[in-house]
Amino acid sequence: MNNDGLMRTLVVQARLRWRNPEDNRAHLEEMVSRHDGAVDVVVLPETFTTGFLGDEGIAEDMQGPTVAWMRSMATRLNAVVTGSSVIEDGGRWNRLLWVEPDGSLQHYDKRHLFAHAGEDQRYSAGAERKVFTYRGWRICPQICYDIRFPVWCRSRDDYDLLLTVANWPSTRAGAWRSLLQARAIENQAYVVAVNRVGEDGNGKNYPGISVAFDPLGEALLEMGDEEALEMVTLELDKVRATRERLPFHLEADAFGLKP
């Protein structure tokens, strides 16, 4: 077990199969198997089983094959496996699943549904911002469109890593990088964001360009537009040192969130 304050994070920038959970699980497992070495967290894209809005006629719940597969992978890798999938559980959710090596599971339901593409007509919107703790780290999960809403993403001195999974289209690729870098700078936190590549069944193209930024907003990882695996190592001491040297968070405005 890693207790050295490092978070070895494997970014899985995948070309997803449209509406084909079984093939996507097999393909992602094959991709991850190419990595040789220790890893703490494996990050898959948003809606990694179907592609974005590709779940028509496909129903899974928390006892379904995707959750079981993630538990199996997490145990085998001795690492967290995370990514989002469409889940039916008292509603239909775009749900980020966070599965630890011991099989324990937490989740975050996407708060900001992309009405421009009709996502709000398909799923329920989450209401609860989450922070997961793992091996000394505090991790705030977000899904794609959430990153456009800095109040929702704002640290209340309660996280060290903002983790984002996405199906972010090529038409807005410039905004992707700018928004993520801004979230890192304003929150003095690491940001790791994983996007998919390729074209989906609706003819939308996705550019990849998965990224990681440090607590000063400096780029640690900038991937291209091809399917690929990349490892980025995060240092918890760097978060603490940045906030001690530049304690901007102490002057942050108080605020509240309405439902």
Enumerate the active-site residues: 46, 110, 144
- The b/e string for 236-251 (b: 16+ C-beta within 10 A; e otherwise) is bebbeebbeeeeeeee
Written as six digits, the tokens of 230 are 């990349």
| Distant-in-sequence, close-in-space partners of 203: CB < 8 Å, separation ≥ 6 | none
Report the DSSP pairing between strands 228-235 and 197-199: unpaired
Element (H, E) at 41: strand 41-43
How far apart, in whole angstroms, are the C-alpha atoms of residue 32 and residue 44? 10
Residue 11 · residue 212 · CB < 8 Å:
yes
Alpha carbon 99 to its chain's center: 13
Report the DSSP pairing between strands 41-43 and 80-88: parallel
What does 197-217 look like in DSSP terms, one character per residue?
EEE-TTS-EEE---EEE-TTS
Nearest to 166 by CA among 43, 68, 74: 43
Which amino acid does the sequence have at 10? L
